[in-house]
Amino acid sequence: MSVTLTVTRRRVTAAALTAALLVPLSACGNEDTKEDTGGSTASGSASAAPKADLTVLAAASLTDVFKTAGAAYEKAHPGTKITFSFAGSQELVAQVAQGSPADVLVTADTKSMDKVKADTGTPSVIAKNRLVIATGEGNPHKVDDLKDLADTKLKVVLAAPEVPAGKYSKKILDAQKITVKPVSQEPNVRAVLSKVELGEADAGLVYKTDAASAEDKVDAVDIPDAQNAVASYPAATIKDSKNAEAAAAFAAWLSTPEAQKILQDAGFQKP
């Protein structure tokens, strides 16, 4: 009887010891699983999009902010490289219509995007903007509001009528019944800004974000909201893209909190 009891106690002790050893091992196994899962989830969010070299056609007014956004996206998505082509929206639309190879299109107005709706996916507005009057540093000609642009002694430059910034400019000037005779009409809003920066023009209508990007060279005169126009920036994938999934991922990313913070820090408004 004592022999049987001793054997039973040994078995119980061995079983208890085995169970005790297995508990920490099991716990470690669970932690490893959580860590692996967490790691793959974290890296998955950073690399969910297939690796690809993307070409993004973007409105000229997005030049500075998209360079920052592109660097952030590439950092979060190792193996992806983004090449931007900046120009007036009308030029970008013409490129898409002609079948130029690209993956994503971002214009400075919805009408331009509508012209190539057969060639793009469903667009989504990622940001908004407003116009300001850009003048030389210190505003030497004392431009205070839109009506001052009618002064024939003032050299004013505007974006061409087919450019979104040109359309918005015409809209707000017409609404105030102000006639402006520009010394030149530029192919994109950055060209307008450049003319003012270089002193080749006394004033020009540009987006608020453009003036902010050159605040050490130009002054910005605000235009009241009641006299202003809101510019919307839609983004869409291009149907002929050879990197459809990667293109869709980048286009979607532009609406994420991370991308929106970059846009709004640069002065763009919420969509």
Per-residue pLDDT reduced to its tens digit, 171-224: 999 999 999 999 999 999 999 999 999 999 999 999 999 999 999 999 999 999
pLDDT on residue 51: 84
In the chain, the percentage of residues whose pLDDT exceeds 70 is 82
Q: What is the mean pLDDT of residues 106-119?
A: 97
225-252: pLDDT as tens digits = 999 999 999 999 999 999 999 999 999 9
| Number of folded domains that form the chain | 2
Q: Are residues 101 and 215 in the same domain?
A: no
pLDDT on residue 49: 64
- pTM score of the predicted model: 0.81
* Helical H segments across 51-163, by residue range: 63-76, 89-97, 110-114
pLDDT on residue 48: 61
CB 198 within 8 A of CB 118: no
Q: Are residues 222 and 236 in the same domain?
A: no
pLDDT at 50 over 90: no
**17 lies in some domain:** no
Q: Are residues 137 and 197 in the same domain?
A: yes
**149 lies in some domain:** yes
Name the residue range of residue 96's domain.
Answer: 53-128+232-265
Q: Are residues 91 and 208 in the same domain?
A: no
**41 lies in some domain:** no
**258 lies in some domain:** yes
Q: Are residues 78 and 119 in the same domain?
A: yes
Q: What is the mean pLDDT of residues 48-53?
A: 78
Residue 191: partners with Cβ closer than 8 Å, 6 or more residues away:
60, 159
Taking all residues of the chain, what is their mean pLDDT, rounded to a whole number?
86
Banded pLDDT at 156 (limits 50, 70, 90): very high
DSSP annotation of 86 reads: E
Q: Are residues 194 and 67 in the same domain?
A: no
C-alpha distance from residue 184 to each of 89, 166, 230, 243 (Å): 19, 12, 23, 39
* Helical H segments across 48-151, by residue range: 63-76, 89-97, 110-114
**144 lies in some domain:** yes
**136 lies in some domain:** yes
